Amino acid sequence: MAPDAAPLRVLIVDDEPLARERLRELLEEAPAVTVAGAAEDGPAAVDAIRAQAPDLVFLDVQMPGKNGIDVIEEIGTGDMPATVFVTAYDQYAIKAFDLAAVDYLLKPFDDERFEEALRRAREQIANQEAAVSERLLRLLHERDPELLDEESPHDEPYLERIAVQGRGKARIVPVDDLTHITADGSYAELHTGEDTYVIRERMKTLAARLDPDTFVRVHRSAIVRLDEIEMVLRGGGGNYAVRLKDGTRVSVSRSRVDELQDRLGVDVLQRDGADDA
């Protein structure tokens, strides 16, 4: 986290005074955090969220009158700040993730578990801010279609693992296991040869975070592992593709063929359908 990062404004919602005080103490000890306020029930939480527009809410699930889930439904999931549910009942965990909560803390929780939830919240908020920048780039892209084709300058460590979120759990996929990645709308499909995992991420972002000595983007919707490429193919009509070691064929953009050949150190492309022997 940058030393000049703006403090995270956090709202605490819990009907138990001791629980509110514990969260306040933990938050006040955390770096770059400002406690924006506290609410002791659902209606007060709705008013505080609308009035204060916090970045993050630690939200108790079980409260009299209006519970935490009611609060989110009244505010609306699209307008709700990043949320960490706090509950003594683990049956609410799945509902929390259905409502796109960042995380949930099961009472009683220790300091380490709290720190993990706060870290996840910071990451989600940072990603949401990055998404705003992406939307601005897309507006520019309408005037310059080539703008988003260039990978972003690399300024952070290359990915070694990718977290794939499920309902109430996350699977870690080692980057070394990937053979290729393809786009499916606003999602990316991670292929390992045996399994396929789906994450919500743009290809441009993934391409910038993967080691270019190992991976190459061959198409707007495809990234392949260089040492998995068995052959470069040229089809009719000037279409190109690569065949991977497992037989998978991945399309290659005409504008990326020269770069791909340079990376592979080959000059000749085999005609698609020709004898491989």
Q: Please give the chain's pLDDT, 277 residues, in tens.
A: 444 445 789 999 999 999 999 999 999 999 889 999 999 999 999 999 999 889 999 999 888 888 888 888 888 877 888 889 888 876 655 555 555 578 888 888 899 999 999 998 888 777 765 444 444 445 444 444 444 444 444 456 788 888 887 555 567 889 999 999 999 877 899 999 888 988 888 888 888 889 999 999 999 999 999 999 988 888 777 788 999 999 999 999 988 888 888 888 765 466 655 544 3
Pairing of strands 196-199, 187-191: antiparallel
Considering the domain 150-271, what is its CATH architecture? Beta Barrel (2.40)
| Tens-place pLDDT, residues 50-82 | 998 899 999 998 888 888 888 888 888 778 888
Q: What is the pLDDT of residue 147?
A: 40
Q: What is the pLDDT of residue 199?
A: 87
| Tens-place pLDDT, residues 112-125 | 999 999 998 888 77
For residue 135, what is the DSSP state? H
Q: What stretches of 92-221 show up as alpha helix (H) in DSSP?
A: 93-98, 111-141, 203-209
Domain boundaries, the chain: 8-128, 150-271
Q: How far apart are CA 268 and CA 274, in angstroms?
A: 13
217: closest CA among 173, 247, 250, 245? 250
Q: What is the pLDDT of residue 102?
A: 81
Q: What is the pLDDT of residue 136?
A: 44
Q: How far apart are CA 53 and CA 81, in angstroms?
A: 8
> Residue 73 corresponds to which tokens in the numbers above?
């439904």
Q: What is the pLDDT of residue 277?
A: 38
Q: What is the pLDDT of residue 21?
A: 95
Contacts of 205 (CB under 8 A, 6+ apart): 152
Say how many Å lie between the first and final Cα of the chain, rounded. 55
Record: fold of 8-128: Rossmann fold (3.40.50)
